[in-house]
Amino acid sequence: MQDVIGEFITYLSAERGLSANTLESYGRDLRQYSAYLKNKVRLVSLLDASRANIISYLLLMEKQGKSPATIARRLAALKSFYQFLVRQSLVERDPTANLESPKLDRKLPKVLTVREVETLLRQPKPGTPGGLRDKAMLELLYATGIRVSELISLSVGDVNLDSRYVRCAGKGGKERTVPLGTIACQAVSEYLTRGRPQIVKDPGERSLFVNHHGRRMTRQGFWKILKKYAGEAGIRKEITPHTLRHSFATHLLENGADVRAVQEMLGHADISTTQVYTHVSRGRLRDVYKTSHPRA
């Protein structure tokens, strides 16, 4: 069964271009399901599982207190897996057909106010190479709304300061270009001129943002940098590397940006993913109304 799971993961990587984290999650979910079949149902093979077996597995997860999001993700992995097995003629029927995922309460993303963002962006000190780098990273992230994984994957040639755009590869390897504002362009330019040359040790290193070893910045490295500056800025909200992306989208929509333009800049395949930010904006409008209207 490990061979079948391995073939499926290879398919997801080659044909659908899923990220390494997603592939790891799918593999883990399928191995847990396989262990359940072997230990609880006494089935050795995933190929022999019935619809009833899968429903029992879903009910067990619910009984164990798994969140609807976790159950939905594991069911999504099973659905994709059995669809693959059908296409490969390894099973005749898909036992997950017409099984519905639990309804999820879509949580509104946590965002910073414009003032909080401005305070955060003032924290890096431009007097050091590291400060110039940190300033450039934060300014670029808020100016473009790109994912942190996209930020740290950038190479020097992906940023065009003359035409003011950044080119990045998103989920599934889909490439897109995003406009770059004046302030972010200036921050990146100063980093490239006065910061990066003092940090990079290998002349052949093409990573745009590097750590103190002169190698590509990691997600964990950026996370530590962000937490440090959030603390210095006095931001008490829970903040993650994705917070600036959420704030970018929300602030654009609050100021009248077209939702489809924001969708393209964020690299969302489905506009419904982008529309969650319109709910945040409407919530902001309600707050303004309640505090400003004399008869609210």
Render pLDDT for 253-262 as a digit per residue (tens, 0 to 9).
888 888 888 8
Question: Is 110 annotated in the active site?
Answer: no
- Measured in residues, the chain has a length of 296
Question: Is 87 annotated in the active site?
Answer: no
Interval 268-288 mean pLDDT: 63
Catalytic residue among 242, 260, 282, 286: 242
Interval 65-80 mean pLDDT: 88
The pLDDT of residue 290 is 61
Question: Is 268 annotated in the active site?
Answer: yes
* Dist. CA 202–CA 214, nearest whole Å: 7
Encode pLDDT of 38-59 as tens digits: 888 777 678 888 899 999 999 9
Q: Enter the tokens of residue 85.
A: 């097995």
Question: Is 219 annotated in the active site?
Answer: no
Same fold flag, 2-87 and 114-291: no
Catalytic residue among 164, 171, 227, 284: 171
Question: Is 51 annotated in the active site?
Answer: no
Task: Provide the 3-class DSSP secondary structure of residue 234.
Answer: coil
Count of other CB atoms within 10 angstroms of residue 256: 7
Catalytic residue among 74, 196, 245, 246: 245
Query: What's the CATH number for 2-87?
Result: 1.10.150.130
Encode pLDDT of 107-165 as tens digits: 667 889 999 999 999 999 989 999 999 999 999 999 998 889 899 999 999 999 999 99
Question: Is 213 annotated in the active site?
Answer: no
Task: Write the CB contacts of 231 (distance below 8 Å, at least 6 apart in sequence).
Answer: none
Catalytic residue among 74, 135, 147, 251: 147
Provide the residue ranges of all domains of the chain, joining segments of one domain with +. 2-87, 114-291
Whether the CB-CB separation of 222 and 153 falls below 8 Å is answered with no
Q: To the nearest whole percent, how much of the chain has pLDDT over 70?
A: 88
Encode pLDDT of 151-179 as tens digits: 999 999 999 999 999 998 877 667 888 88
Which homologous superfamily does the CATH classification assign to the domain defined by 114-291?
A: Intergrase catalytic core (1.10.443.10)
